[in-house]
Structure 1
Amino acid sequence: MHALIVIAHHDSRSLTHSLATQVAEGISTDPTNSFEIADLSAEAFDPRFTAYDLAVHHREARPPADVAAEQMRIDRADALILVYPIYWWSMPAILKGWIDRVFTNGWAFDFSPETTLVKNLSKLQVHLVAVGGADKGTYARYGYADAMKTQIEHGIFDYCGASVATSELMLESESRDPIFHLEAARSLGRNLFSASKECVRDEENSISAV
């Protein structure tokens, strides 16, 4: 199975990058799995939502080449993993812009005033790895986990039909020993497709038993 790991951090030495590397290494422990990394900053993805992008949303223009390339990456993937720092209690602008531009009407979903919403990404499994500097108590006190669920899980991915399988908050990133987060990221990668493969084996055993 194949995963697309999206990194939203400009510094290749960051904890964000290290976590993405651990996820990738975890995936690689099973030789039947593969992954691709989309480093948005290193690849100079343009996150600006322009008038042309609005025309794409209105189905008046085709997605530009950079957007189409990202959509093809996602089409190849069974799982999408977003690894990003929490900026001002949200995701970095480059990642939000990537979602704004790539998850277009006509690809991620189909909508018009005359028809019912059609969700096109029901086969995609999403995993969120968010890196935060504050502690768990601070995020709990102000309801960040619930806000994350509303804004990202429901507001973005559920709208397109994709399911958020795991949502990890890697907290105290500037004060805690990073080994704990790195081990958790590697475990995420190692177990990423375990449930899916178990389901396939169960189906194959059921068929062979008939």
Structure 2
Amino acid sequence: MHALIVVSHPDSKSLTHAIARSFAAGVEESGDHTTEIADIAAEGFQPAFNRDDRFAYLLQAPLPSDIAREQERIDRADALVLVYPVYWWSFPGQLKGWIDRVFSNGWAYDEAPDGTLGKRLGRLAVHLVGIGGADGGTYARHGYDKAMRTQIDHGIFDFCGARVVTSEFLLDVNGRAAPSHLVTARALGCNAFEKAASVGGNLSAVAEQPG
């Protein structure tokens, strides 16, 4: 099995990158699995949705070459892992732009002329690891965790049919919790494919139940 770990942070020495590496180490030590870390900041990914993206969305032109490459990376993966710092209670702008451009009409979903939507990423297991400075009480008190899961887990990935297997916030990183987050990330990686198989089996069982 192969996991593509997309990390969005401009500093390769940051806790975000360390957590991504810990997750990757956990995946690789859990079995005959491989990982690729896509550092989209270092790679210089351009996040702004542009004119060529618009024509591709309308199915009037081929995808831009940089987007086709990103989709090919995801197509080679059994799991997609997003590791990111929480900026203003959401993705960093570059990662949001990566989603805007890469999760395109005709690849992530189909939009028929009558408005019917088809979900095309049902095979893909997704693991989300957000890293925040506030503590868990702040997230719970203001509903930030629920709001982010609504917009990301449901609004993006369920829209495309992908299975969100892990949805974790590693918080209070400016306090004493940071070292423990590396341990948590490694454990999440160790369990990633086992948990994905369990979730996939449960979903299949539900789908087979008579209405």
TM-score with structure 2 setting the length: 0.91
**Residue 118, structure 1, aligned to residue 103, structure 2:** no
Question: Which residue is 1:171 aligned to?
Answer: 171
Over residues 146-203 of structure 1, what are the superposed CA-to-partner deviations in whole Å (9 max), with x where a residue is unaligned?
A: 1112100111000100011111101001112422100000001111112456799xxx
Distance 2:79 2:31 in 1: 16
Distance 2:121 2:82 in 1: 16
5+ unaligned residues in a row in structure 2: which ranges?
201-211
**Residue 128, structure 1, aligned to residue 123, structure 2:** no
Q: Is the 8 A contact 2:171 2:177 kept in 1?
A: no
Distance 2:57 2:128 in 1: 25
Distance 2:196 2:164 in 1: 14
Q: 2:22 is matched by which residue type in structure 1? A: Q
Matches within 5 A, 1:47-66: 47-66=47-66
Structure-2 change in CA distance of 1:179 and 1:33 (3 Å): same
**Structure 1 residue 130 displacement after superposition:** 0.3
Matches within 5 A, 1:4-19: 4-19=4-19
For 1:11, what is the secondary structure of its paired residue? coil
Q: 1:67 is matched by which residue type in structure 2? A: I
User: In angstroms, what is the RMSD of aligned CA positions?
Assistant: 1.6
Distance 1:122 1:197 in 2: 13
Over residues 75-97 of structure 1, what are the superposed CA-to-partner deviations in whole Å (9 max), with x where a residue is unaligned?
A: 11111100000001111000000
**Structure 1 residue 46 displacement after superposition:** 0.5
**Residue 21, structure 1, aligned to residue 26, structure 2:** no
Matches within 5 A, 1:153-172: 153-172=153-172
For 1:28, what is the secondary structure of its paired residue? helix
**Structure 1 residue 28 displacement after superposition:** 1.1
Question: Which residue is 2:209 aligned to?
Answer: none
For 2:192, what is the secondary structure of its paired residue? coil
Structure-2 change in CA distance of 1:196 and 1:131 (3 Å): closer
Off by >6 Å, runs of 4+ in structure 1: none
Q: Is the 8 A contact 2:85 2:132 kept in 1?
A: yes
Matches within 5 A, 1:64-79: 64-79=64-79
% identical aligned pairs: 56
Q: 1:120 is matched by which residue type in structure 2? A: R
Question: Which residue is 1:108 aligned to?
Answer: 108
Paired residues, number: 200
Distance 2:188 2:51 in 1: 38
Distance 2:9 2:51 in 1: 26
Relative to structure 2, which stretch is displaced further, 122-131 or 173-182? 173-182
Question: Which residue is 1:151 aligned to?
Answer: 151
Structure-2 change in CA distance of 1:49 and 1:25 (3 Å): same
Q: Is the 8 A contact 2:109 2:118 kept in 1?
A: yes
